[in-house]
Amino acid sequence: MSLERILLGLLREPASGYDLKNLFDRSIRYFWAAELSQIYPTLHRLLKRGWVRRRRAASARGPDRKVYSLTGAGRQALREWVAGEPKFGDERFAYVAQLFFMWELGDFYRTLSFAKTLRTRFADRLGELHEIKRSRFESEAGSVEQLSDDEFHQYLTLELGLRTIAARLEWCDWVIAAIENRIAAKPHTDGATKRRRK
């Protein structure tokens, strides 16, 4: 459902399934991902529903491309979706669940190294997002006020990604400190005294 609308949104300019996959990977991967094997059938569905039209085009290399573009009905469907209530799906974070049950291991050094791994990942992700922000929204000399309407909206969402990950990163530091504290406070507790790991 959401994927359909997102494809419509990405089809502001005509694009093939392959192009759309690249748009996902390059521009919106911080809040949505999709595989080609999901994109192709979804495009067929949109076509059947009259929300996109399709034409063949020769490719510079490789087989013929099938280029999709938005119809009036498609744009209408997109507008209704963005104009509707915010769609909340519930979030599922396996790594949070792992941490939640990690007391089972009875080894705070494990929890510590888990937190450090998380920290590295979040730091990497934050770096990527900063890079996107720099290249897309700060290359032009002007500040936020100079952005076009679409750039402005895209900037808002990017900033959400940035702030969310920054918060998680800070949380990692807080967790690491809290665990080190706890280890220092009672170092030789439960049956895991032998396992020292950085």
Partner DNA sequence: GCGATCATGTAACATGTTACATGATTGA
Partner DNA sequence: TCAATCATGTAACATGTTACATGATCGC
Site residues, DNA (CB under 7 A) = 1-3, 16-19, 33-38, 40-41, 43-44, 59-67, 90, 92
Binding mask 52-91 for a second copy (x = CB under 8 A): -----------------------x--xx-xxxxxxxxxxx
Q: Which of 50, 160, 173, 193 binds a second copy (CB under 8 A)?
A: 160
Q: Does 95 bind a second copy (CB under 8 A)?
A: yes
Q: Does 171 bind a second copy (CB under 8 A)?
A: yes
Which of 88, 142 has the CB closer to DNA? 88
Q: Which stretch binds a second copy (CB under 8 A): 38-46, 53-61, 126-134, 147-155?
A: 147-155
DSSP string computed for the chain: -HHHHHHHHHTTS-B-HHHHHHHIIIIITTT----HHHHHHHHHHHHHTTSEEEEEE--SSSSPEEEEEE-HHHHHHHHHHHHS---------HHHHHHHTGGGG--HHHHHHHHHHHHHHHHHHHHHHHHHHHHHHSSSSS-GGGS-HHHHHHHHHHHHHHHHHHHHHHHHHHHHHHHHHHHHHSTT-SS-TT----
